[in-house]
Amino acid sequence: MIAQIPAEPRDSSRLMVLHRDSGTLEHRTFRDLGMYLVREDLLVLNRTRVIPARIYARKPTGGRVELLLLRKHPAETWEALVGGKGAGAGTKLVVEAGPELEIISTEEGPRRLVRFSKAIEPYLASIGNVPLPPYIHEPLSDPERYQTVYATEPGSAAAPTAGLHFTPELLTRLGEQGVRQAFVTLHVGLDTFAPVSERDPAQHMIHTEWCEVPLETAALINAARERTGRVVAVGTTTTRALEAAARYSYLGRFPRIAPYADNTDLFILPGFRFSVVDAMITNFHLPRSTLLMLVSAFAGREVILNAYEIAMKEGYRFYSFGDAMLIL
């Protein structure tokens, strides 16, 4: 069921429409999205951009080491996944066609904290590779197909895949229909996709991700709710950003949601009370993932599992390059 290549064009992917109130399902194409949105609805999208974060370095012995940059810290320090043996604290490496670096601490598993001798960002465009998920085995002829068409803020190690279905033309049509658009930023880390191995999911540790809900987006959300318009979150990442910001709202100037710019470790499980999001666009997720748990919290666990069974029988494509679901 795993999609190896993206649909072409983007909005030709399939769209399962799930009505939470009745439990009914419809089978559409993503370009039909406007049939389910009305004037005054607010579409909220995550404008993060995947950085070419997979790079290679050499040990003094000549051995090659793969690094996947996850998150930047101050002073040219990065959290990274480092492959290969002998890559412990104190190891010095030289990036191929790039600067030197030192592993300054060993974290859980292959996770390391590394410090570059100079900024690595100027080198990434020429030496870095877009880190496709490990379950995608087909090479990607155009790296932009793993970016949304509205991605402007570099910082993610993985794409917010629910947004991959949008084309500029579809966004324009929705705007002409009266559907407003607003943006958040949540830089996606690989921990989002890490499977939950604990018997009690509440014991699973989810790492922090940086997110921002700007003032203009908060204002549009509050205005939409006053007009009884729905807030439609494009993806689980947008949902996390909005609900994280809602925890810091206060009555008065920001009755529903306040501007927010900080790290979030919000882990949404069944039983969570959603404060902002009224509808959600999402892909079909991996078993035992925090993403599957989030959509189960939104629509109901049994409802989602039943929808997934039907999706498999109907031949829907799963995961990053797969088809979409609209939960109303």
Q: What is the pLDDT of residues 157-200, one digit of tens each?
A: 899 999 999 999 999 999 999 999 999 999 998 666 567 777 88
The yes or no reply on domain 54-127 and CATH 1.10.1060.10 is no
Q: Whole-model pTM?
A: 0.91
Burial class (CB in 10 A: 0-12, 13-18, 19+), 93: buried
Residue (of 242, 213, 203, 179) closest to 40 by Cα position: 179
Distance between CA 55 and CA 68 in Å, rounded?
6
The segment(s) of the chain belonging to CATH 3.40.1780.10 are 10-50+139-327
The segment(s) of the chain belonging to CATH 2.40.10.240 are 54-127
Distance between CA 199 and CA 288 in Å, rounded?
11
Alpha helices in 213-270 (DSSP H): 215-226, 236-246
Which CATH number fits the domain 10-50+139-327, given the four candidates 3.40.50.1100, 3.40.1500.10, 3.40.1780.10, 2.40.37.10? 3.40.1780.10
In the predicted model, what is the mean pLDDT of residues 49-59? 94
Distance between CA 162 and CA 233 in Å, rounded?
10
Whether the per-residue pLDDT at 252 is higher than 60: the answer is no
Distance between CA 211 and CA 298 in Å, rounded?
20
| DSSP assignment string, 83-145 | -STT--TT-EEEETTS-EEEEEEE-STTEEEEEESS-SHHHHHHH-B----TT--S--S-GGG
More confident residue, 62 or 152: 152
Tell me if 326 sits within 8 A of 18, measured CB to CB.
Answer: yes
